[in-house]
Chain A
Amino acid sequence: MARALNLVVTGVGGQGLITLSSIVARAALRRGVDALVAETHGLSQRGGTVIVHVRLGDVDAPLVPPGGADAILAMELIEAVRYLGYLRPGGTVVLNDYLVPPPLPGIETPSASSLLDAIRRRAGRIVIVPATRKALELGDARVANMVLLGAALEAGVFNGFIDAAAVEEAIRESWPKAAEVNLAALRAGRALAKSS
């Protein structure tokens, strides 16, 4: 297979998945690595399930094939399991320890532990961080995505493609005014992954 990194980024619409993926792509571009980020817009964004395909390196097609993802970055537990079929055998799952029950009356929500078990059965490696809780501590729930990205960096998901400095540069470029809280979130994510 060609030299490429395939990622699936998933969660619930509104959790900043497109932003997370764009930061990855911008960081890649800074290191001269080609990138394709296939996003979900419009209807599906309204609190629905969201999947973003991120492909770096020598790639042509926009979508990651099932069984072809080197890693899944998930902002929510149910959505992590929903797209497990994309993970290649032995792949890594970087996970926000956060469960959002779908707001449908009478729907049964699986327990966090049963979801984690499903991920463990499939993943070669699993890194869990409390990204949403950490973001609320930092004063802004919206930066949970950067906490997760920090954890993925620390877990080595991007090794050989992008480094932490490139991600920090991409953050500064994207939010000239609000870089600090996002950088703090990124670093918090790295620290959490290191200790997990």
Chain B
Amino acid sequence: MPRYSEVLAPAGGKVLMLGNVAIARGFLEAGVQFVAAYPGTPSTEVVEALAAAARRLGGRPYVEWSVNEKVALEAALGAAITGVRAVAVMKHVGLNVAADPFFSSAYLGVEGALVVVSADDPWMWSSQNEQDNRWYGLHAYVPVVEPTGPQDAKEAAKLALEYSARYKRPFLLRSTTRISHTRVPVETGAIPVEELEPRGDFSKNPARWTLIPQYARMHRLELLEAWDRLRRELAGFPLNRVEGSGPVAVVAPGLGYRYAREAVKLLGAEDEVTIYAVATPVPLPEPLAEKILSHDMVLVVEEGDPIVEIQLKTMAVEVDARTRILGKRGAQGLLPRHGELGLEKVAAALAKVLGRELPAWTRGERREPGVKLPPRPPVLCAGCPYRSFFYALRRAANKLRLRPVYSGDIGCYSLGILPPFEVQDIIVDMGASIGSGSGMAHTLTGGGRVVVAIIGDSTFYHSGVTALMNAVYNQSPLLVVVLDNHTTAMTGHQPHPGVGVDAEGRAAPEIRVEEVARGIGVEKILVSDAFDIRDSEAKLIEALRYTIETRKPAVVVARGACILVALQQARRRGIKPPTYYVDPEKCTACGICYKAFNCPAIQRGEDGKAVIDPALCTGCAECVQVCPFDAFKPSQEPPEEWTVIMRTAKPA
């Protein structure tokens, strides 16, 4: 089954969809015409699904992978100014990158519609921080819609786009990991296919569309007025609802509702509570808040920061309500301020509010398993070209007797933090390897100190380019390594400007890293075969020497396909990569392959000799280069096509 084809399932059915695909479906049902995004977990599949739809509907809606979130939001805003229904999609930290146009969009408003999707990641399953982007709504005066679970993610997306069109203001759709990445049955509605074609127009009107001070002041006043109106009218948002009529109010924004509802059932407390499901947490609708504040006792259950709790407490002061409001804040904080909600946490908080005994199962008795477990962090895949390159990098640094500081970045190569490579000494945000690395390059002194910035191809296009320009202009003596595996690998193999394919699968111009670097003014640029340890090592030594001697930046582009894309393509073309095995006669149990190279497919046998797990071997032949004793042998002669695919495979 082609990926994400369920997004176009016929109307009137019940189809299993990932929350993100349901969001995409909701946008399609609302007639979305323009989509721009940068991939980021847990947001990516919204756009993958929309791109899959566009491929099958002849480019309707228009879908692009933008180079970063700021550009994506600007592009979507531009489209919305021409009267088109547009969305921009990103992960929570992406909105930091896009904050500038986001704030401006609230002032300008739109002619069509604009929904910005932010997928937040409580407990940082795949992120550098835990950030509740509903704050952005309060900060920028952009109303926030939050599904009350994956169950109504489709409806929430659809309504957000419709409300944006009605109010001519941008809306923020906030999802969280467990909404985006939970699969649920979704009832499908009709998609107005003909309306997905973007047909924009524009009438000159500088007072409306330019934010020079004289007009911005006017917009500010209008914005405040609109905000007050929204605070009243969002009470009628269809996903806001009240269940039950008990004395205690359980206010449950977003996913909090699902935990609250199930916890109430588990405690058999249906008669004691009134549940307020809140799908518009920002601004908290006043008529809803008034009803909530008529209760003596309120428990707020929300994923992330206490955004609704704070608004409720503020309003309680404003109207002099005596309501006791409990949640995450204050000495009475019943729910943790970090991480995700859980049924056990919500049930325990509710039991306390209701003066019940804690149900035994919520006490989370964690008996020790009686065996010490090793951690299992994510690692570079078997056959990843970054492993052979990192091996070469460590060798080059050792040969030159350097003590490099490795300025790291966001992507698969972040996994280079682990032993044996340990080539990610700082990790800050997308693009910071070059930005922060160039700062360090000006301040680090001492023998053998050199900064090596390590960035992936997609991250380079995202925000490495500007930082590299800064490094050239300010003559930062650092080596920039761009790991080019022809895809945005970590988020599931999206194309980017270096791939030659766009989001809808059409041929696109290919912007090569080395040409960008040359255009910016880098004088020393070398391209290495990331799978070839000798080649990479030689080029790294040359580039490091150059940087140290000239005190100027140098760039090494390490090229080699993501092995997962290569394997997929080989399968499609009927090419079978070899698997490797260990010749026990030749293996001396030196351990280089499983200690210093650390391929997950190679394990230490009981006699200390290496063993390859055939279920994990990808046939990359990196181990053959690492072994000094020639102990790794292929099960079959590697097909010539395979060695080419390994180096050139790209997402289609």
Contacts and interface: CB of A to CB of B under 8 A. Distances in A.
A105 B340 contact: no
Interface in B575-627: 594-596, 598-600, 602-604, 613-616
A61 B41 contact: no
Interface string B359-374: 0011011110111111
A46 B362 CA distance: 32
Most buried by B among A40, A63, A108: A63
Contact of A49 (B261, B361, B376, B600): B376
Nearest to B596: A105
Contacts of B347: 65
B338 interface: no
B369 A102 contact: no
Interface string B329-352: 000000000001011100100000
Contacts of B258: 60-62
A44 B374 contact: no
B614 A176 contact: no
A42 B41 contact: yes
Interface string A51-66: 0000000011111011
B47 interface: no
Given A67-B365, A85-B367, A105-B594, A110 B373 contact: yes
B42 interface: yes
Contacts of B224: none
Contacts of B261: 60-61
Interface in B366-397: 366-367, 369-382
Nearest to B365: A67
A160 interface: no
A121 B370 contact: yes
Contacts of B185: 25, 29, 34-35
Contacts of B598: 103-105
B362 A65 contact: yes
Nearest to A6: B343
A36 B178 CA distance: 10
A66 B348 CA distance: 13
A22 B381 contact: no
A35 B381 CA distance: 31
Nearest to B410: A43
Interface string A157-185: 00000000000000001111000000000
A102 B375 contact: yes
Contacts, number: 203
Nearest to B121: A42
A110 B178 CA distance: 32
B600 A47 contact: yes
B126 A43 contact: yes
Nearest to A68: B361
B514 to A, nearest CB: 27
A117 B364 contact: no
B235 interface: no
A81 B371 contact: yes
Given A29-B185, A48-B378, A105-B598, A117 B370 contact: yes
A101 interface: yes
Given A12-B376, A44-B126, A103-B379, A62 B255 contact: yes
A94 interface: no
B508 to A, nearest CB: 25
Contacts of B16: 22, 25-26, 29, 35
A184 B347 CA distance: 43
Interface string A108-121: 11100011011001
B369 A60 contact: no
Nearest to A141: B615
A41 B126 contact: yes
Nearest to A121: B370
A79 B126 contact: no
Given A63-B178, A67-B364, A37 B183 contact: yes
B184 interface: yes
A121 B347 CA distance: 28
Interface string B109-151: 0000000000000000110000000000000000000000111
Given A35-B184, A61-B262, A48 B366 contact: no
Interface stretch (B193-201, B412-420, B456-464): B412-420
Nearest to A170: B16
Contacts of A81: 369, 371, 373
A60 B149 contact: yes
B374 A67 contact: no
Contacts of A37: 182-184
Given A46-B380, A66-B344, A25 B183 contact: yes
How large, as a class, is the contact surface on chain A? 35 or more
B27 interface: no
Interface string B165-205: 00000000000001101111100000000000000000000
A140 B118 CA distance: 38
B259 interface: yes
B365 A41 contact: no
Given A41-B126, A43-B41, A62-B178, A104 B369 contact: no
B374 A104 contact: yes
Contacts of B317: none
A156 to B, nearest CB: 23
B288 interface: no
Contacts of A103: 379, 594, 598-600, 602-603
Contact of B149 (A62, A102, A105): A62
A27 B339 CA distance: 32
A147 to B, nearest CB: 12
A45 B378 contact: yes
B599 A65 contact: no
Nearest to B415: A46
Contacts of B418: 104
Contacts of B212: none
Given A29-B16, A104-B418, A38 B614 contact: no
Contacts of A107: 374-375
Nearest to B613: A100
Contacts of B599: 103
Contacts of B370: 117-118, 121
Nearest to B42: A41
A38 B340 CA distance: 13
Contact of A38 (B178, B594, B616): B178
A29 to B, nearest CB: 5
A122 B365 CA distance: 13
3 nearest A-B pairs in the assembled complex, by CB-CB distance = A42-B41, A48-B378, A42-B126
Interface of B: 1, 14-16, 18, 41-42, 44, 125-126, 149-151, 178-179, 181-185, 255, 258-259, 261-262, 265-266, 340, 342-344, 347, 361-362, 364-367, 369-382, 412, 414-415, 418-420, 490-492, 594-596, 598-600, 602-604, 613-616
27 contacts: A35-B185, A36-B183, A37-B183, A41-B125, A41-B492, A42-B491, A43-B414, A46-B415, A47-B600, A48-B378, A60-B261, A61-B261, A67-B361, A82-B373, A88-B361, A102-B377, A103-B598, A104-B374, A104-B375, A105-B419, A107-B375, A110-B373, A115-B371, A118-B369, A118-B370, A144-B615, A176-B1
Given A43-B125, A110-B374, 4 more contacts: A25-B183, A47-B379, A105-B419, A136-B615
Interface of A: 1-2, 12-14, 21-22, 25-26, 29, 34-49, 59-63, 65-68, 78-79, 81-82, 84-85, 88, 100-110, 114-115, 117-118, 121-122, 132, 135-136, 141, 144, 173-176
